[in-house]
Chain A
Amino acid sequence: MGNVTNEKLSETVINETNLLNRRQFERIDGQWRLVRRKCKTCGSMFMFPKVTCPNCLGDTEFEAVPFGGKGEVFSYTVVSVMPTGFATPGLIAEVTLQEGPRLLTILDVPDVNDKRIGIGMKVEMVFKPVRKDEAGNPLYYYVFVPEKENGGL
């Protein structure tokens, strides 16, 4: 995640209580990182903590390996009406991470109808406040944005 603002956000603002779906993340070197779980027996990598490795099904231990946060769009769709609390229209995408797994995510772009959005577009992960808790405090999660090195949008 070569985004300075994102790193600073991750270091100083995001904490255990305001990060959504906490089980997907680990705090590594002061940064919140989306992690793979690497099986110490067979080397396979998966998302989310598991009781066993879905590949070798052994009584194994896992190592948390951070994702680079880069990937490309595998499919996408502009959704006319999003659920309550989400920006409408919304741009939902399947992103293939550089490391292999596919993720459903929100693509955060200025214009969801931008013709440059397409399958194969390079994207990267950033944290942002996605909604508020009952007291009005922001809750953080990741979204994907067009990769800055490729010009962004």
Chain B
Amino acid sequence: MRNVYVTGIGMTKFGILPDMNLREIGETAVWAALKDAGLKPSDIGVAYCGYAVSGHIYDQELVMGHTCLRELGIKEIPILRVEQACNSGGFAVREAFLAIQSGFYDVALAFGLEKMFGRGTQKAVDALSKGLDTELYAEYGLTPGATFGLISKRHMYDYGTTVEQMAMVSVKNRRHAALNPRAQFQKELTIEGVLTAPMIAEPVTLPMCCPITDGGAAAILVSEDFLRKRNCRKPVKILASVGASGSPSWTYKLSSHENYAISSKLGYEMAGLGPNDIDVAAVHEPCAIMEIMTYEGLGFCPMGEGGRFVESGASSLGGRLPVNTDGGTLSRGHAIAATGVAQIGEIVTQMRGEAGPRQVEGAKIGLQHCVGGYQMGDACGSTLHILERSSEI
């Protein structure tokens, strides 16, 4: 099997981008990744575009990837849309990895983009609700917020997790985002402020939920042969790239989701590593409770101990295993299909030692995990990547 490296990353600022349309968001992220890699547009052999909810919001459902790339000099190659709700970007990276590992291509582009502001909040919420199976859920008025409330309540019941511990996730990620100029929110929060904020779905308050976000992110993956031939800049090796669907059932636990165990088992096996080897992680927390569940599901702490894990400071910068150093979905923002690619960007930045004030000192191994969709007690699917700081190639 061929070794695969990330050599270029780029992203727009996440937040409200009134001066950029969808094409410009995509172009900006991809162009930044090309510059970062020091590669030409014509080097790209295949492109995967994560794109999920903006099609509904902006009436541009199809061929978004082509729209972004056609005048960047990236043409006459396969350009494919990848969709798995919030994890569209994660799977775009996974597909790029496979394209190179298989030997078909030497350079692959993975990018994701969304524009969620500008057409009213209701339109954005309607678009998000399309990540739920309508046969199962439409007649109950289920919203993502309600799902977060149900999961949080059950996690509290099963494990004694507290609302203060959930608030600590929001506070911690905001503290990290304050060090990330590309994050959507940078004003620090307090536990009391989180708990007294408007209630979304009891016990979940507004700062415990991710925002809607405009933004794009891109990553360029290359083969080891190409890397040597072209002397690419600061490559970061991909030790594991895995993806899997979830394990839906009619007797789900709600307070734990199977996808974490499924993708982490595959990922740790592929990398030949375990949770104790991870120095920094980027995980998907559309709600504070889901970061707590991720600690447990990926083996960062025992099942049920996630609340105490964040409370101990272990997942903060300076702690044993800093999680979401860029602010995560809660504070970096959640431009749905761009999120998985932005996570890869943050881990690459950490592996390069270029994260500035949010750098995890001496970080050698980084993990990315993202989930998308929700059906019958589990995410529809997840991807997990493990990246390694490279000694000079």
Contact = CB atoms under 8 A, between A and B. Distances in A.
A84 B120 CA distance: 14
B272 interface: no
Interface residues of B, number: 33
A83 B201 CA distance: 13
Nearest to B122: A84
Interface string A5-25: 000000000000000110100
Interface string B230-262: 000000000000000000001110100000000
B141 A106 contact: yes
Nearest to B134: A21
B135 A92 contact: no
Nearest to B138: A21
A48 B150 contact: no
A100 B251 contact: yes
A101 B200 CA distance: 27
B153 A47 contact: no
A82 B250 contact: no
B349 interface: no
Interface in B197-218: 198-204
A75 B139 contact: no
A123 to B, nearest CB: 14
B201 A92 contact: yes
Interface string A79-116: 11111111000101110000011101110000000000
A47 B252 CA distance: 14
Contacts of A20: 139
Contacts of B151: 75
A105 B146 CA distance: 11
B244 to A, nearest CB: 18
B141 A83 contact: yes
Nearest to B200: A80
Nearest to B153: A75
A83 B157 contact: no
B129 A83 contact: yes
A79 B149 contact: yes
A134 B381 CA distance: 36
Contacts of A104: 136-137, 140, 142, 150
Nearest to A94: B150
A101 B248 CA distance: 12
A79 B129 CA distance: 15
Given A92-B140, A92-B141, A104-B140, A77 B146 contact: yes
A79 B157 CA distance: 18
Contact of B251 (A76, A82, A83, A101): A101
Contacts of A75: 150-151, 153-154, 157, 254
Interface of A: 20-21, 23, 46-48, 74-86, 90, 92-94, 100-102, 104-106, 119, 130, 141
Interface of B: 122, 125, 129, 135-143, 145-146, 149-154, 157, 198-204, 250-252, 254, 377
| 10 closest A-B pairs by CB | A77-B149, A86-B141, A101-B250, A75-B154, A78-B202, A77-B201, A75-B150, A79-B201, A92-B146, A79-B146
